[in-house]
Amino acid sequence: MTLAEIRTAVRSLLKESQTDEGTIFPSGDVLLDFFINMACELVVLDLAEFMPEVFLNSEDITLVAGTSEYTLTAEWMRVWAMMKNVTNESPTIIPYADIQSLSSRMYTGETATDPEAWTLKGDTVIFIPTPSAAKTDYARFWYIAPEAATMVSGGPAIIPRMAHKLIPLQACMVICAMDGADKTRWETLYGYTAQRIRDTYQFRIQQQPRFIGGSILDKTGGDTRDRALYDKLGFFR
């Protein structure tokens, strides 16, 4: 849906035409767009919980020798993964370390060719230890992205088309809450619509069975144990 279509949908649902006398949404759409933008962000928060891959995006980080902090250019809601992204090497997870665990990851002033962990300071990525060499596009930061703060005339850029109708319904709920009106019917319709979208979109990949996987931290890219001492394949393989 375009922005104009979403505006019309909100007016139609609330029966508030801009030509009506005493309407809370006169011509100009400034107030109406405020509620539409608020509703759009709330819809993204609902959808990202069960269809995060739809909002998935990435940004590459180039290392600079002697620099540990890197400011991300994109707005993000959640980190999906920080992965080493070196040509001719397998992409591997760079572990996240909270501030309290830095003592086990580095010592003050330490540098390394390849950082072994990363942490956050606000929206700034800090690599640990400090990189000792410059490397172009060394890491790929996968993140869950929000919609733009202000909707453009073409409508939402990320939210799937089938879910666009959630925006005017959410806007009706917000407007009713603001106006002190009963929003129960909009909550019921929004919940029904959101559930139908969830039932379809969270199982979009039907190619093969899907199972709950273990943590990426439990996986390893190599094993140096001696085959003579350890059964590395398992007894029944």
Task: Say if CB 142 and CB 80 are below 8 A apart.
Answer: yes
The 10s digit of each residue's pLDDT in 197-221 is 998 888 887 787 766 666 655 655 5
Instruction: Specify the pTM.
Output: 0.78
Pairing assessment for the beta strands 111-112 and 130-131 based on DSSP bridges: parallel
pLDDT in tens, 81-129: 999 988 777 889 999 988 777 766 666 778 889 898 999 988 899 998 9
Please answer whether residues 182 and 76 qualify as being in contact, where contact means their C-beta atoms are separated by less than 8 angstroms. no
Residue 237 has pLDDT above 50, yes or no: no
Taking alpha carbons only, the member of 15, 35, 40, 6 closest to residue 185 is 15
Distance CA 180, CA 163 (A): 27
Cβ contact 92:84 at 8 Å: yes
What CA dihedral angle connects 77, 81, 82 and 84, to 10 degrees?
Answer: -150
Reported as a single tens digit per residue, the pLDDT across 16-41 is: 765 666 677 777 889 899 999 999 99
* DSSP per-residue string spanning 74-142: S--SEEEEEEE--TTS--EE--B--GGGGGGT--TT-EESS--EEEEETTEEEEESEESS-EEEEEEEE
Per-domain boundaries in the chain: 3-51+160-201, 52-144
